[in-house]
Amino acid sequence: MVSTAARFLFLFDFDETLIDENSDNSVVRAAPFQTLPVSLSNSQRPRFFLEHSQKIMTFLNESGVTEEAVRDAIERIPASPGVAALLHFLSARDDFECVVVSDANSYFIETWLRHAGARGLFAEVFTNPAEFNRDGRLVLRPYHAHSCPECPENMCKQLILRDYASKRAKEQGEPFQKIFYIGDGQNDVCPTLALGLNDTVFPRRGFPMHRIIQDLQRTQPGVYRPSVVPWERGQDVVDFLKTIL
């Protein structure tokens, strides 16, 4: 829920951040033989992830996979190590406003958060809209259109971050004192380029986001402005937050 006293904004990615898997891969467990055809597995194109996700959902529907089976597969996804401790820490405070920014979809994220008992922590979930149609197929729609050349065609997380932080600053009468961002993937780098020296980024250690940031810091010193605190467990983030708050 939105807190009128929030001083800090905390943005979460979903796949391989809140959860310890890629939800598109997880839902394949509901498929016959728990696998995709080779032609479908090899059809993904860079920057067109949503298109590939829709192909997966169409395949599952044509294979007789029901909404109940999809929901069960999503609810079974484990949280990333220590994420429960991080969510518990944040929920015990009233000075953090938390949102999800993910290129997954609303059905997967809302289903998982509700099952985990964590939906109430998040003021907003920014993701691709999704709902089951009359034929029982999960239909995905792009979140928005944008002109960023670095991001998937359906979502630029930096645009979402900027717009949300600006909107909330107007509503609260002042900007957030600090912004925190936790993620793992390549598309989590773009939003963090909008952050400043007072902000902190938590890239999952050894994942693409971490490697890209390390390359930026090495090849373009000073360009990447926020503090960087790699994490392996959610407790790593909690420990850091306790030292600065």
- The verdict on whether 94 is a catalytic residue reads no
| Alpha-carbon gap, residue 241 to 239, rounded angstroms | 6
Which residue reads 């729609």 in tokens?
A: 141
Would the annotation count 15 as a binding residue?
yes
| Alpha-carbon gap, residue 112 to 199, rounded angstroms | 28
What distance lies between CA 116 and its chain's CA centroid?
Answer: 16
Would the annotation count 103 as a binding residue?
yes
Quick one: which H or E segment has residue 132? strand 130-132
Would the annotation count 236 as a binding residue?
no
Catalytic residue among 13, 188, 199, 236: 13
Would the annotation count 13 as a binding residue?
yes
- The verdict on whether 13 is a catalytic residue reads yes
Would the annotation count 184 as a binding residue?
yes
Rg (C-alpha) for the chain, rounded Å, is: 18
Residue 47's contacts (CB-CB under 8 Å, 6 or more residues apart) are: 151, 152, 153
Catalytic residue among 15, 188, 199, 236: 15
Binding-site residue ranges: 13, 15, 24, 103, 184
Annotated binding site for substrate: 24, 103
**Residues with catalytic function:** 13, 15
Question: Which positions make up the binding site for Mg(2+)?
Answer: 13, 15, 184
